[in-house]
A and B are shown apart, each in its own frame.
Chain A
């Protein structure tokens, strides 16, 4: 800058400001094909996870007549969720909360141990992006061919490849959206209905929505989702410490990097030959040699790429490797630091995980198929009858989660002379028989009547006891109050 004449110095400063715009154009990433242990593991994870996603709705589970036989089903119109032998009602949505907590803590634990393996292998974004890249490679060729094709002027051949690629992408996306809807409706029925072009607008909307998001996020946006949209990379650093396994570059061995000709000595220089294979294969297009960074999803493909080169050069593998920061520091000094599986952090995560899992297991294990809800009339609080006795009204709901007709005996405790009636049934008796149809909430209007002498003040404790009329029937108890005049 000092060589510029004074009259141009100002313009140079302005040009510099213009060179750094506030908005950056996207740098296209052209990941190169790679072979190795981690790539094979990533393929295996992809196949297993996609198989689960596409096949799970087809699993059947016999729940008896009249009940859906799909093992995994969220039935929105009927307000029921099915998971194999478990049937969840909307009131029990806390099981879903528990699952989400388990998933979150599990993610924290795995991340503090092995870094972002979720991001690298299991996240739907990673799995579908990987699948879409595989299609892209099949149609357009590997990295260099794709870069050439993108730069080439439009031609029939280029257009053909583009149309073919996007068509396959959209087909995959549509299959993804279709499979998503199958978790919310009977899968075989849906397929038959679709074959007959007989599906509702809502179904089409959701298939379309998930087709569009799959195509956009997996095909077009790709690593931009991880870098800009996903919150996880932003706070994952809170789970990392120096004992977390992350993708590391052994800079103490690799530097000083430089080109290497066959036969040149390795003394006085690093093992990194600056071939940029680790950068070329990276699905997010970063250089791992700059250290751990936000964009790194921890997939380990750069390790495979580097190992391939190290093998060719007859150098030890692992210049880029899954390792802990503390071990890297120790190895740089010629020592070694063992991988510590048990750390306060991992122990706490494990303890919380076990606690939540235990609470959930206990909740599921002791879950009853019977529940009652009692709503006392508030307007009016009580009714005075001709003979001076007091009557309270209750809306009595029996939640029968079993798939069978059930009969119950209802009694009240707390006022010995109280009698009970049910609208449309028996009146002024000590014991009412109430029935509940399978898998339903039955609502009864129950009236309790008691002489004034039975009341203690304006609010007398009252207990409803509902006993199933079977030898080993379930019992539900609900405490409430009986209101009267002051």
Chain B
């Protein structure tokens, strides 16, 4: 409580009467309209309580006069975005697949949408950049199990690989040469050495020479005489630097012994045709497309 209001001798201004350790505070009055602006903002703030959701209850909250929530606003905005996109999506679904690359604007839309759809649906297995991992193909390189044209990629995305629920899915089955007793351990070892030698690898030339015979009798039907692979059968090319399950000898031996059969879901039915096309175009545009 101010008690000793006095006039400051230097400035001629009254003090507020407050004093702390001999320091006195000059009374320099604030303009009254200024403090009134402060009160006005307080009243303005009450308006927020009235029109916006504000006061929490046990299970809910007051809705406010405007019945606004961020979630409702988002829903409205998303609807507007979807409506905006609809004409592009329709065009994407109705244009023949091979003619889409001629339309630069449509391509831009497809690649941008494909990037988002890829992150949502494909990245868990193929990686966010599409580089894949052991067992999950790298989509950026020039080696394709089932073909790398736009049409091939579209078919793979739509119908999946070894996805039994889809009648048109891509299916192939490599025999389990070791597990099922078709080849013995030595034959498998020789075949593995031969396979490695196709791309300049392997260490045992004699074994590789023996393995050539094993390969010709058991593997060449699908993988080709020189290991060039057969895309119609999804049989990988073995004579290159790319190995889906690893290119060391142990991995190759394991592949021959137990076979490999990666599975990819069919996306037709889960995603609409336009989104699948976006995905195919996006993957095709990442460097490996043929």
**Which residues in A have some Cβ–Cβ distance to B below 8 Å?**
13, 16-17, 20-26, 224, 228, 377-380, 383-388, 391, 393, 421, 423-424, 445, 447
Q: Are A22 and B31 in contact (CB under 8 A)?
A: no
Q: Are B241 and A387 in contact (CB under 8 A)?
A: yes
Distance in Å: Cβ of B218 to nearest Cβ of chain A: 24
Query: Residue B70 at the A interface, CB < 8 A?
Result: no
Set of chain B residues within 8 Å of A22, measured between Cβ atoms: 16, 27, 29-30
Q: Are A380 and B285 in contact (CB under 8 A)?
A: no
Set of chain B residues within 8 Å of A13, measured between Cβ atoms: 3-5
Set of chain A residues within 8 Å of B2, measured between Cβ atoms: 17
Which chain A residue lies CB-closest to B199? A388
Set of chain A residues within 8 Å of B173, measured between Cβ atoms: none
Query: Residue B131 at the A interface, CB < 8 A?
Result: yes
Find B287's partner among A24, A378, A423 (CB 8 Å cutoff).
A423
Distance in Å: Cβ of A440 to nearest Cβ of chain B: 12
Set of chain A residues within 8 Å of B270, measured between Cβ atoms: none
Pairs across A and B, CB under 8 Å, 22 listed:
A17-B3, A17-B5, A20-B16, A23-B29, A23-B32, A24-B29, A24-B31, A25-B31, A377-B129, A379-B128, A380-B140, A383-B141, A385-B141, A385-B143, A386-B141, A386-B143, A386-B242, A388-B241, A423-B287, A423-B289, A424-B101, A445-B285
Find B131's partner among A20, A26, A380 (CB 8 Å cutoff).
A380
Distance in Å: Cβ of A217 to nearest Cβ of chain B: 13
Query: Residue B257 at the A interface, CB < 8 A?
Result: no
Set of chain A residues within 8 Å of B33, measured between Cβ atoms: 26, 224
Which chain A residue lies CB-closest to B27? A20
Which chain B residue lies CB-closest to A27? B31
Set of chain A residues within 8 Å of B142, measured between Cβ atoms: 385-386
Name which of B31, B127, B286 has the most chain A CB atoms within 10 A of its CB: B31
Q: Are B131 and A379 in contact (CB under 8 A)?
A: yes
What separation, in Å, do the CA atoms of A171 and B138 have in the docked complex?
Answer: 68
Distance in Å: Cβ of A189 to nearest Cβ of chain B: 25
Distance in Å: Cβ of B201 to nearest Cβ of chain A: 11
What separation, in Å, do the CA atoms of A445 and B130 have in the docked complex?
Answer: 15
Find A379's partner among B3, B27, B34, B129 (CB 8 Å cutoff).
B129
Distance in Å: Cβ of B42 to nearest Cβ of chain A: 16
Which chain B residue lies CB-closest to A17? B5
Set of chain B residues within 8 Å of A421, measured between Cβ atoms: 287
Q: Are B131 and A383 in contact (CB under 8 A)?
A: yes
Give residues of chain B (88-144) contacting chain A, Cβ–Cβ below 8 Å.
101, 107, 127-129, 131, 138, 140-143
What separation, in Å, do the CA atoms of A440 and B2 have in the docked complex?
Answer: 68
Distance in Å: Cβ of A454 to nearest Cβ of chain B: 16
Set of chain B residues within 8 Å of A20, measured between Cβ atoms: 5, 14, 16, 27, 29
Set of chain A residues within 8 Å of B101, measured between Cβ atoms: 424
What separation, in Å, do the CA atoms of A228 and B101 have in the docked complex?
Answer: 63
Query: Residue B224 at the A interface, CB < 8 A?
Result: no
Set of chain B residues within 8 Å of A383, measured between Cβ atoms: 131, 138, 140-141, 287
Set of chain A residues within 8 Å of B140, measured between Cβ atoms: 380, 383, 391, 393
Set of chain B residues within 8 Å of A25, measured between Cβ atoms: 31-32
What separation, in Å, do the CA atoms of A94 and B7 have in the docked complex?
Answer: 52
Which chain A residue lies CB-closest to B4? A13
What separation, in Å, do the CA atoms of A90 and B141 have in the docked complex?
Answer: 36
Q: Are A16 and B5 in contact (CB under 8 A)?
A: yes
Which 8 pairs from chain A and chain B are nearest by CB? A379-B129, A24-B29, A380-B131, A386-B240, A388-B241, A23-B32, A383-B140, A20-B14
Set of chain B residues within 8 Å of A377, measured between Cβ atoms: 129
What separation, in Å, do the CA atoms of A228 and B35 have in the docked complex?
Answer: 12
